[in-house]
Amino acid sequence: LNLGKIIVIPGMGCSPVATSNWYSWFKNEMDSRSSSTQCILRDFPDPNICRESIWVPFIKDEIGLDEDTIIVGHSSGAACAMRLLESSDVPKIRGAVLVATAHTDLGSASERRSEYFNRPWNWDLMKDGARKIVC
């Protein structure tokens, strides 16, 4: 089974990523399913605020996205995934898995600082950003 490239986008404050939440377990599970699957689990810059202006370019420029990419976003990482799905300069990806996501900042000042919630969501663009989206 070739799942292509899977990128785990962690939640706020999840650093080091390898010892946070379920991320290493998930990477090991995905890597064990096929030698042709590449699950990317990396520490992200700005892990405690996870600003869109830092994370989106990091994913696009440092990690890279293509038509065979699946993104798995958790919490604030899911909000980042949603903004990636809206981006016109990102290719339509294979899939997105959104884990424990929110569409508002939930009244949290730290979530507000992340920049994901400072404008309305474009649900139509988001739906067109991936062949399949699972929440």
Check: CB of residue 6 under 8 Å from CB of residue 30.
Answer: yes
Range 11-30 average pLDDT: 95
Q: How many angstroms from the chain centroid is the CA of residue 98?
A: 8
Task: List C-alpha distances in Å: 17 to 14, 27, 89.
Answer: 5, 11, 27
Specify the pLDDT at position 126.
Answer: 96
> 92-124, pLDDT tens digit by residue?
999 999 999 999 999 999 899 999 999 999 999
Position 34 confidence tier, pLDDT thresholds 50, 70, 90: confident
Specify the pLDDT at position 1.
Answer: 60
Check: CB of residue 124 under 8 Å from CB of residue 86.
Answer: no
pTM over 0.85: yes
Range 38-57 average pLDDT: 96
Position 13 confidence tier, pLDDT thresholds 50, 70, 90: very high
